[in-house]
């Protein structure tokens, strides 16, 4: 790799403070000013932990913006959009505080900046991004891929704006209700969607700077994001989950603010690695193996729940309904896999070389494993505070351990034994099944101390 390519790969990331460009310092000043504004206006409603998180967030965001320049514009736009939403809420009442009923009466809040409107825009934009990525595959054109990437950025912007505004809205309902919006399945699916997308956009940009285009891998990654968004919309419509609810006692802890985001960095990057693994397999595996593996793999979505029933309890009426939902999911996956296998020669023209896809898969799993490890440790401390013990073999804890062991073994085999090729890709793809059950299946089929997230 030439020195020029190395410089382009991470522009200005390794510069000392004295070598920083004036735009770096202008960005830092803007972030500090927004952080100061947030503290001055909302510090009274924050506890000591939230103030500490805000204080740590300012230098962290500055560091991220210096490390990866595209985040600068995203952060500033999200900050300005959040400020605009807060100003519209505050202007709508003469008293101290905000009138949340104005979300349906003020034009910009109703159609753009209230949390529910912003998250709906996020959903539409992620669906559109997926569509344009696949148009790029179908037409063998870079135009669709570029549009898909730009629309994905817009979706992340709306997701973050919706998250920040929802955080503000929760505090306006009552001082004992306000919380960071990562407390239920609706909120964490928003978190999962934008985290997975932003990691994909980072790798897309990073590899492009190295002169290694990832082609239409985004078509695969955005599929799992669209699936999450589809579930989110269904969950909001059927269960009314978009409404802000008070925290249950177990969640009234500052541990939640750091445990859940760290956990979902793991979930998001594991999902991304699995979709990259699928593209890798389409390019390298024999057709017969693809049909057997990809059509057989979804059946595990039924096999794992049945194993869970055998270990933790029998088939109740609710569990039978969950099995029916899982069955429909399996059917959809079988149809999807059949389509991509049939169109593999067409798709493979738009995906990168296997070595490049393998590198993306490895990097995603490595990042996800690091954060998932941190999240698991934090979760143990949280459990000790909430329930009096670091580990209780609750179903959620057990499956989190299974996920951790799965990726620990994958990385061990990669680093110690040089694991590569189709076996590694199949393993990463199966890892998505394990991760999905730990993330969602436990809530669908099992009960325990984490049952506050049941469907």
Q: Judge whether residue 94 has pLDDT over 60.
A: no
**372 vs 49, 119, 134, 182, CA distance in Å?**
22, 26, 31, 16
Q: What is the pLDDT of residue 286?
A: 85
Tokens at 412, concatenated: 């061990």
Q: Judge whether residue 305 has pLDDT over 60.
A: no
Q: What is the pLDDT of residue 1?
A: 38
For the beta carbon of residue 135, count every other beta carbon within 10 angstroms. 17
Phi then psi for residue 80, to 5 deg, are -70, -40
**What is the mean predicted confidence (pLDDT) over 55-63?**
91
**289 vs 297, 302, 345, 421, CA distance in Å?**
11, 21, 16, 14
**What is the mean predicted confidence (pLDDT) over 172-185?**
82
CA nearest 163: which of 254, 78, 256?
Answer: 78
Instruction: Indicate the burial class of 32 (C-beta count within 10 angstroms; 0-12, 13-18, 19 or more).
Output: middle
Tell me what the pLDDT averaged over the chain comes to. Answer: 84
Burial profile 49-84: b = 16 or more Cβ within 10 angstroms, e = fewer: ebeebbeeebeebbeebbebbebbebbeebbebbeb
**What is the mean predicted confidence (pLDDT) over 98-118?**
85
**What is the mean predicted confidence (pLDDT) over 51-68?**
89
**What is the mean predicted confidence (pLDDT) over 307-327?**
59
Name the residue with higher pLDDT: 243 or 274: 274
Kindly list the domain boundaries of the chain, sorted by start residue: 22-67, 257-450
3-class DSSP state of 373: helix
d(C-alpha 102, C-alpha 106), whole Å: 6
Banded model confidence at residue 8, pLDDT cuts 50, 70, 90: very low
d(C-alpha 227, C-alpha 298), whole Å: 15
Burial profile 290-323: b = 16 or more Cβ within 10 angstroms, e = fewer: beebbbebbebbeebbeebbeeeeeeeeebeebb
d(C-alpha 231, C-alpha 441), whole Å: 13
Tokens at 14, concatenated: 């390794």
Q: Judge whether residue 320 has pLDDT over 70.
A: no
Q: What is the pLDDT of residue 278?
A: 94
Q: Judge whether residue 256 has pLDDT over 50.
A: yes
Q: Highest-confidence range of 21-25, 263-267, 446-450, by mean pLDDT?
A: 263-267
Banded model confidence at residue 11, pLDDT cuts 50, 70, 90: very low
Torsion of CA 89, 94, 97, 98, to 10 degrees: -30
Q: For 145-167, what is each residue's pLDDT tens digit?
A: 999 999 999 999 999 999 999 98
**What is the mean predicted confidence (pLDDT) over 107-132?**
94
Instruction: Please report, rounded to a whole number, the percentage of residues in the chain having pLDDT higher than 90.
Output: 44
């Amino acid at each position: 790799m030439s020195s020029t390519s190395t410089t382009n790969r991470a522009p200005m990331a390794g510069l000392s403070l004295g070598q920083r460009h004036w735009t770096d310092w202008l960005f830092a000043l803007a972030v500090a000013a927004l952080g100061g504004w947030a503290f001055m206006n909302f510090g009274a409603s924050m506890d000591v932990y939230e103030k500490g998180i805000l204080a740590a967030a300012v230098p962290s965001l500055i560091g991220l913006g210096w490390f990866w320049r595209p985040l600068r514009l995203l952060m500033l736009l999200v900050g300005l959009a959040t400020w605009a939403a807060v100003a519209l809420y505050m202007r709508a009442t003469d008293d101290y505080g905000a009138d949340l009923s104005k979300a349906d009466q003020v034009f910009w809040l109703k159609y753009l900046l209230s949390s529910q409107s912003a998250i709906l825009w996020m959903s539409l934009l992620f669906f559109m991004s997926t569509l344009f990525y696949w148009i790029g595959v179908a037409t063998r054109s870079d135009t669709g891929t570029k549009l898909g990437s730009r629309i994905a950025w817009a979706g992340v912007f709306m997701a973050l704006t919706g998250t920040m505004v929802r955080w503000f809205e929760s505090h306006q309902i009552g001082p004992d209700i306000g919380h960071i919006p990562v407390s239920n399945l609706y909120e964490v699916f928003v978190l999962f969607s934008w985290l997975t997308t932003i990691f994909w956009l980072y790798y897309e940009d990073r590899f492009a700077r190295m002169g290694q285009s990832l082609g239409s891998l985004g078509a695969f990654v955005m599929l799992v994001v669209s699936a999450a968004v589809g579930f989110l919309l269904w969950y909001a419509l059927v269960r009314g989950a978009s409404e802000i609810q008070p925290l249950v006692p177990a969640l009234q802890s500052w541990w939640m603010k750091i445990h859940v985001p760290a956990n979902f960095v793991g979930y998001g990057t594991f999902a991304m690695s699995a979709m990259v693994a699928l593209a890798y397999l389409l390019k390298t595996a024999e057709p017969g193996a693809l049909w057997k593996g990809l059509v057989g793999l979804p059946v595990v979505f039924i096999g794992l729940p049945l194993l869970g029933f055998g270990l933790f309890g029998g088939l109740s009426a609710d569990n039978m309904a969950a099995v029916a939902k899982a069955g429909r999911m399996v059917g959809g996956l079988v149809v999807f896999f059949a389509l991509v296998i049939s169109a593999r020669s067409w798709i493979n023209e738009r995906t990168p070389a296997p070595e490049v896809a393998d590198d993306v898969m490895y990097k995603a799993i490595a990042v996800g494993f690091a954060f998932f490890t941190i999240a698991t440790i934090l979760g143990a401390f949280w459990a000790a505070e909430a329930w009096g013990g670091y580990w209780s073999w609750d179903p959620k804890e057990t499956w989190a351990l299974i996920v951790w062991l799965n990726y620990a073994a994958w990385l061990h085999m990669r680093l110690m034994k040089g694991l590569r090729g189709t076996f590694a890709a199949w393993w990463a793809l199966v890892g998505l099944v394990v991760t999905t059950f730990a993330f969602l299946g436990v809530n669908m089929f099992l009960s325990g101390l984490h049952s506050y997230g049941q469907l």
